[in-house]
Amino acid sequence: MGEKIKVGVIGAGRIGKIHAGNIVKNFPDVEVKAIADIYADTIREWAKGLGIANVYADYKEIIADPEIKAVVICSSTDTHSQITIEAAEAGKHIFCEKPIDFDVRRIHAALDAVKKAGVKFQVGFNRRFDHNFKKVKELIQSGEIGDVQIVKVTSRDPAPPPIEYVKVSGGMFLDMTIHDFDMVRYLTGSEVTEVYANAGIMVDQAIGKAGDVDTALISLKFQNGAIGVIDNCRQAVYGYDQRVEVLGTKGGISVSNDVPTNVVVSTKQSVAADKPKYFFLERYMESFETEMREFFASIAAGKDTPVSGIDGLKPVLIGLAAQKSYKEGTLVRLEE
């Protein structure tokens, strides 16, 4: 075991705490040297419990620390691109939560800075590292089901977010479907060329008043000829619904939901199984650790990260196309 790589975590909200905790507990070769949050005082006790030495209110102290070789950016979305640029210029490797930005020019600016600095850059599309979806990808790559013809993603939240969040989230296509746009790119290994968003407001009229939709079917064409559909809903009362199906020329693959237990109860009323895991952190907990492990492995081995800057950019472009499709009631072609 050589010297530990020192890392700084920027932003200690829900996901920042998860990443910091995972690194401290499970990565003996990595040290969280510092964590920065604008509400630094509220996290001091928690950071101490994890043995994190430095808590800053200003992330720039992390950027300025030459010992820190990598940053994990978990601050609010509007700060991602700016922090990315500063960290890249300081020569630090970067793990950045998704999305990089909602503004395509700012994404390009961030990716340009990364490229110029030659640092590693990974976007937090954690679902690629989920045990189920990773296996689907492996099966497709192995040729088990031949050429992909149809990919279907079901992605529904158990309950809508607060209206205040809906107003600033960038809209369902950018805050929720963005994960699914990444998933279809990941699974097909091909780029989306055409989008048609069929959507409506069926869960809560307040969501419509806030300018968003709550239920959608997004029809997709891919460069390799495959076609796909994503269905989203802000509310699936039975729990967090995260499934994928792929049809290929030699077979099909399907993934059902993870459940808390495999217990089935048979009574006069029904044969009842567990509902899907309800909360995204519970459902995807393992993937947060795996993506981070891959990030540090990429640094250690000097190889490409598994989720590149382009992987961060493309889903935003597809999301913007979906927004346009819905608003104008037309198909939207993505430019090459």
Q: Pick out residues in 49-108 that bind a second copy (CB under 8 A).
A: 49
Helix (H, G, I), strand (E, B) or coil at 115: helix
| Min dist. Cβ of residue 79 to a second copy (A) | 30
Q: Which of 78, 103, 147, 304 binds a second copy (CB under 8 A)?
A: 147
Residues 204-243 that bind a second copy (CB under 8 A): 215-217, 219-221, 225-229, 231, 233, 235-239, 241
Binding status of residue 253 toward a second copy by CB under 8 A: yes
Question: Which is nearer to a second copy, 116 or 135 (by Cβ)?
Answer: 135
Binding status of residue 2 toward a second copy by CB under 8 A: no
Binding status of residue 289 toward a second copy by CB under 8 A: no
Binding status of residue 261 toward a second copy by CB under 8 A: yes
Q: Which of 69, 92, 127, 156 binds a second copy (CB under 8 A)?
A: 156
CA distance 41 to 39: 6
| Min dist. Cβ of residue 328 to a second copy (A) | 11
Residue 302 identity (one-letter amino acid) = G
| Min dist. Cβ of residue 136 to a second copy (A) | 6
In angstroms, what CA-CA distances link 167 with 25, 106, 190, 206, 226?
Answer: 36, 21, 32, 10, 34
Binding status of residue 258 toward a second copy by CB under 8 A: yes
Question: Which is nearer to a second copy, 174 or 247 (by Cβ)?
Answer: 247
Q: Which of 118, 162, 262, 302 binds a second copy (CB under 8 A)?
A: 262
Question: Which is nearer to a second copy, 235 or 308 (by Cβ)?
Answer: 235
In sequence order, what are the residues at sequence separation of 6 or more whose Cβ sits closer than 8 angstroms to the Cβ of residue 230? 152, 153, 154, 155, 177, 180, 181, 184, 216, 217, 218, 220
Q: Which of 2, 263, 335, 336 binds a second copy (CB under 8 A)?
A: 263
Phi and psi at 267, nearest 5°, equal: -135, -175
Which of 241, 238, 237 has its CA nearest to residue 152? 241
**Strand pairing partners for 294?**
none
Question: Which residue intervals of 53-130 are DSSP H helices?
Answer: 60-63, 77-89, 104-117
CA distance 124 to 152: 22
Query: Rounded to the nearest 5 degrees, what angle is found at the Cα of 291, between the Cα atoms of 91 and 46?
Result: 80
| Min dist. Cβ of residue 145 to a second copy (A) | 7
Tokens of 125: 């599309």
